[in-house]
Copies of this chain bind each other. A is one copy, B any other.
Amino acid sequence: MRIGELAERAGVTPRTIRYYESLGLLGPSEREGAGFRYYTEAELSRLQTIHNLKGLGLSLEEISTVIPLYFEDPTRLSGKRKIVEILKSHLHETDEKIEALNQFRSELQANISRIQQWIDEHSESQ
């Protein structure tokens, strides 16, 4: 199949596929004739895997470290282990973000209260 069909079946745009190719994430099986990209079911599968990993929140850079493991280890154990490792670091970062946001929230509340009080004090006569 060519890029348009692959794109449609995977739910992405041709631009996305070419972009992934430029990152080394995915290549066409071959470039026949005048240079059109031709793909097989294997590439569709690989593209869907990329899609799934994106759904887990991995960046394309992270995916590029997972994909080789994922497709070159028949048991897929090493790929899965790598994913768990990445997800755990995401969990850690998420906890830190939540903490930082809670802190930020408190400061916002304090600022609102402080300024609102200033307003109340200076607009009593109105």
Contact = CB atoms under 8 A, between A and B. Distances in A.
A111 interface: yes
Contacts of A56: 111
A13 B101 CA distance: 28
Interface in A72-104: 75, 77, 80-81, 83-84, 87-88, 90-91, 94-95, 97-98, 101-102, 104
Contact of A95 (B75, B77, B80, B105): B105
Contacts of A90: 108
A122 B91 contact: no
A57 interface: yes
A115 B83 contact: yes
